[in-house]
Structure 1
Amino acid sequence: MNAATNDTPARLRVFITGASSGIGLALAEEYLKRGAVLGLVARRGDTLAAFAARFPSASISLYPADVRDAAALSVAAEHFCALHGGADVVIANAGISRGALTGHGDLDVFREVMDINYFGMVATFEPFVARMVAGRRGTLVGIASVAGVRGLPGSGAYSASKSAALKYLEALRVEMRPAGVSVVTIAPGYIRTEMTRRNPYPMPFLMDADVFARKTADAIANKKRFATFPWQMRVAGALLHVVPRWLYDRAMEKAPRKPRPEK
């Protein structure tokens, strides 16, 4: 754990999981530009430390942890809140994407994806909710995906986890509204990151991570209930949602698949 001191109450306090790469790292950089106090969680502690070293005057608390470890997340949340008096924005971003097929011995892959992408999101929010409800303020942000709108062949594990996240965030938004706590769902399309770099198929409307982070931070500041970036994928997602099953099946049968991990 590492932290700078002498924070002022006016500075936004932001806690982000999956912060060592991709969307999480881009969000961390964006919030630093906005003068925020950061709590960063990721499995790769060395990468977090290298990031913090680039900003010696910033207030950054580092928590090397796996979001599947609810106890470690709770300790990190308690430390961050004790140090800074609470959190204003909590972003459950940690996620993985794996190709997986039923009947091919991929059950462990399905479990891993669901544990990180869905249960990890719940575990991230859990230690912050009581404090936010008591103060009747704060924003919980979940990074879902357009891939959760329909089941993508070869990506059943990822689509299922993001669909679960979408429904969970919707339920949580309604639950938290009377308590004065906002819930923001962000559903990215294709964002240029290490994760998407491995995709062996076309990615329409691919957006740079820094652009995505800026737009996402604005949406969070405005407490938007649901936002999709890039905007073209919002249209694509809406169309996918209403396409008849017979047409969807026919169109997606021969769609390119994400490679399965080597055993």
Structure 2
Amino acid sequence: MSEKIAIKNKPLKVFITGASSGIGESLAHQYAKEGATLGLVGRRLELLTKIKSNIKTDCEIYAVDVSDQKKLQKAANHFIKKYGPPDIVIANAGVSTGTLAGEKKDLDTFKRVIEINLFGVIHTFLPFIEIYKKKKSGQLVGIASVAGIRGLPGSGAYSTSKAALINYLESLRIEMRPFGIHVTTIAPGFIHTLMTKHNCYTMPFILDVDVAVSRFRKAIHNKKCFVIIPWQMKIVGTIMKFLPAPLWDFLAKGGPKKIRKMIQ
């Protein structure tokens, strides 16, 4: 399939969170090149404003933290009122930091990571679900991670949030199917973004963000249920999933650790 995905009939309407940098920014630019109408959500207004200035299609920006359900609902309502329901909602906003699962002082960080990575996705989808049910169409896309397949020492909050997200999206997919609503889970490996920039360890099969996002878009276009990107990580993820617990414990105990820091 060509890297460029043709949009038939009328341009798509796409609502994207975490759009101020990295994967979200790349998604915005790639969909804009195809003529899509965009709703972009991020915490940093100055970055969203810069992105909008380089987009030639209709684009609304919303400086909102996805953990704030009321503000996100307001942003969704504004987009729907102006353009109608989006064809695709992509819950991409996420954070990552090192944490120790047994350390009390990391408790607030644990809560914040889960609040953004899990509840942020739930908050993103809720404004659109009833509308999608009534129109019997729509697509909800969640960006999870290979890190959600098994618990990773030193990344307990991130692994927990992504494991919970994968299961939430699976539950949602089954629930939405009778209404003609597609739910797509994308679990990436390593991607060159600000999130991985400061990782001081080897990141196998790492992809350039634009290359990764072009593959995401193919999966979205083809309405995949669950996909791991790149394909090499699919093999790694499958092995991880089925390893017996004692063997996984042995292999993972000496793995690399992320730097621990508070998430604002």
Which residues in structure 2 correspond to 1:88-99 (within 5 Å)?
A: 88-99=87-98
Q: CA deviation at 1:125?
A: 0.1
Cα deviation code 1:120-152 (max 9, x no counterpart): 000000000000110001000000000000000
What is the rounded CA distance, in whole Å, between the counterparts of 1:81 and 1:11 in structure 2?
A: 15
Q: Kindly provide the amino acid, as one letter, of the partner of residue 180 in structure 1.
A: G
Cα shift at 1:183: 0.2
Divergent runs of 4+, >6 A: none
What amino acid does structure 2 have at the position aligned with 1:168?
Y
TM-score, structure 2 length as denominator? Answer: 0.94
Q: Which runs of 5+ in 2 are unaligned?
A: 1-8
Counterpart of 1:128? 128
Q: Select between 140-149 and 212-221 the one with higher mean Cα deviation.
A: 212-221
Counterpart-to-counterpart distance in 1, 2:15 and 2:121: 13
> Which runs of 5 or more structure 1 residues have no equivalent in the other structure?
1-8
> For the residues of structure 2 that align with 1:54 and 1:34, how far apart are their CA atoms?
14
Q: CA deviation at 1:228?
A: 1.2
Identity of aligned residues (%): 50
Which secondary structure state, in structure 2, belongs to the residue aligned with residue 191 of structure 1? Answer: coil
CA distance in 2, matches of 1:137, 1:252: 42
Is residue 17–residue 93 contact of structure 2 (8 Å, CA) maintained in 1?
Answer: yes
Aligned length: 254
Secondary structure of 1:80's match? helix
Helix, strand or coil: the match of 2:203?
coil
- 1:96-135 matches, within 5 Å, as 96-101=95-100, 102-135=102-135
Q: Does 1:221 align with 2:221?
A: yes
Counterpart-to-counterpart distance in 2, 1:191 and 1:211 = 9
Paired residue for 1:169?
A: 169
How far, CA to CA, are the matches of 1:32 and 1:87 in structure 2?
14
1:36 deviates by: 0.7
Q: Quote the Cα distance in structure 1 between the aligned partners of 2:137 and 2:83.
A: 15
Aligned alpha-carbon RMSD (Å) = 1.2
Work out the CA distance in 1 between the residues paired with 2:83 and 2:262: 43
- For residue 128 of structure 2, what is the amino acid of its counterpart? F
After TM superposition, list the pairs within 5 Å mapping 1:33-48 onto structure 2: 33-48=33-48
Checking the alignment, whether the CA contact within 8 Å between 2:109 and 2:262 is kept in structure 1 is no
Instruction: State the partner residue of 1:6.
Output: none
Contact 2:16 2:24 in 1 (8 A): yes
CA deviation string 1:219-262 (max 9, x = no partner): 11110101111110011000000011111111111111111116
Alignment partner, residue 86 of structure 2: 87
